[in-house]
Amino acid sequence: MPLWLQFFAQAALSFFATMAFALCINVPRRALIPCGWSGLLGWMVYWVLWQLGTGRMLANAAGAVVLAFSGVLFARHYKMPAIIFNIPGLFPLVPGATAYQAVRELVLGHIDESMRLVVRVLLVAGSIAVGFMLAQLLGEFYSRYLRARWRRRRRT
């Protein structure tokens, strides 16, 4: 499949999967489309970085940063809590298939393979958490320092 077709397929599937998950967790109707967009943005950042050859953890962290920023922007625009957009948007990034494989390998008695997969799941989950923390820190930096600097310039 050509790369441009993979790009559009990944975008469409992440958008609709995020919207479907948002429906499952009873997100308000007016927030469904923005939830889909937040999931699409986070996943596409992850997918593009993964295609460029960056590591799984860096790609997940970057996707989480973009997801957190989009959640804040949608929250301000729709006057709703950011968590409404962030939780469904995480759906494409969460390594659910890898966690399933880890449990499956554990049940089959392949302890070494199971532990390898569990470590991968924990590293990816940690990188997503670091991405959210980084987005929070950058948002605080922006709101405190850059706005204060802009106000000082405006007074002079």
- What would the pLDDT profile of 135-148 be if each residue is shown by its tens digit? 989 888 887 887 77
Q: What integer pLDDT is reported at residue 156 of this predicted model?
A: 62
Question: Rounded to 5 degrees, what angle do the CA atoms 105, 17, 30 make?
Answer: 140
pLDDT tens sequence across 46-101: 999 999 999 999 999 999 999 999 999 999 999 999 999 999 999 999 999 999 99
CB atoms within 10 A of CB 156: 4
pLDDT band of residue 25 (cuts 50, 70, 90) is very high
CB-CB neighbours of 93 under 10 Å: 24
**Reported pTM:** 0.86
- In this structure, are residues 17 and 91 in contact, taking their beta carbons and an 8 Å threshold? yes
- Average pLDDT of 115-140? 94
Across the chain, mean pLDDT equals 93
57-71 tens-digit pLDDT: 999 999 999 999 999
List the domain boundaries for the chain: 3-155
Predicted confidence band of residue 1 (pLDDT cuts 50, 70, 90): confident
Q: Which two tokens stand for residue 156?
A: 């002079």
Interior CA angle at 116 toward 6 and 44, to 5°? 20
User: What's the whole-number mean pLDDT along residues 16-28?
Assistant: 96
